């Protein structure tokens, strides 16, 4: 199982993948005022989204702080890859 950032049209997506599927679990997009960040959840949790962050790195750290991959796996050895992958 892998968790990684992938280039998207207007920013980056946080992805989780295994041998059979690939799922978006978060994302950051560039806007005119900064960056918007979102960590995926299965319920309504507005605190997992934030707008107008100053930098891409700040927005990515915000998304990662929720550890959204734990919705799909309880593997304690999962970590986010440092390399950003190209758009699929």
pLDDT tens column, 24-46:
999 999 999 999 999 999 999 99
Q: How many domains does the chain have?
A: 1
Burial of 58 (0-12, 13-18, 19+ CB in 10 A): middle
Indicate whether 80 belongs to any domain: no
Indicate whether 88 belongs to any domain: no
Question: Which is it for strands 22-31 and 2-8: parallel, antiparallel or unpaired?
Answer: unpaired
Q: Are residues 14 and 64 in contact, defined by beta-carbon separation less than 8 angstroms?
A: yes
Return the H-helix or E-strand segment holding 32: none
CA distance 65 to 42: 17
Return the H-helix or E-strand segment holding 29: strand 22-31
Indicate whether 9 belongs to any domain: yes
Q: Which of 9-13, 14-18, 40-44 is least confident?
A: 40-44
Tell me which residue range forms the domain holding 46: 2-71
Q: Is the pTM of this model over 0.85?
A: yes
């Amino acid at each position: 199982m892998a968790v990684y950032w992938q280039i998207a049209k207007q920013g980056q997506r946080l992805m989780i993948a295994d041998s059979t599927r690939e799922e978006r679990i978060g994302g950051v997009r560039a806007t005119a005022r900064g960056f918007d960040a979102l960590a995926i959840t299965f319920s309504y949790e507005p605190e997992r989204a934030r707008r107008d962050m100053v930098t891409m790195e700040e927005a990515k750290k915000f998304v990662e702080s929720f550890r959204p991959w734990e919705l799909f796996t309880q593997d304690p050895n999962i970590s986010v890859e440092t390399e950003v992958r190209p758009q699929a």
